[in-house]
Amino acid sequence: MGRIGHVELDRDALNAILTQFSQNASIMDIVEVTDRGVRVRLAVDDRHGRPGGTVSGPAQMTLADASAWFAILSRVGPKLLSVTTSLHIDFLRKPEIEALIAEADLVKLGSRLAVVRVTISNEGADEPCAVAQVTYSIPKD
């Protein structure tokens, strides 16, 4: 079992996993491993948009889910078969069609389950556009 403050995989290792296993590797980047999780950037363009000039909900949910996975891997190591068991998201305000930043903070890190709080904002914005709580099942060693 990992500890929230103990980092097993750094930014470079996480970005290598992203490149190898994610279809979003060309638009997503682990920016930083933080004290409680990770910060992830999603490059947004018109493909992610909805009418009215906002980023789609599915794009924001993808960012929340991926950020939670990377926050967990940063602490438990390359347990790539960790899977989402629950994802709840609240959309708070309209994000602009520009880069999004996800702050994924581990709330609980157990031997079999992890709970992560993800706050999503437009890059440089003061207010979040969405918050999510994501629970993952972590496989046994």
Residue 76 has pLDDT above 60, yes or no: yes
Residue 2 has pLDDT above 80, yes or no: no
Question: 11-137, which class in CATH?
Answer: alpha beta
Which residues partner with 35 through β-bridges? Answer: none
Which residues partner with 28 through β-bridges? Answer: 42
Whether the CB-CB separation of 78 and 105 falls below 8 Å is answered with no
pTM: 0.95
Q: What is the CA radius of gyration of the chain?
A: 14
pLDDT of 25 reads 87
Neighbours of 55 (CB within 10 A): 26
Round to whole Å and give the CA distance between 104 and 82: 16
Residue 1 has pLDDT above 60, yes or no: no
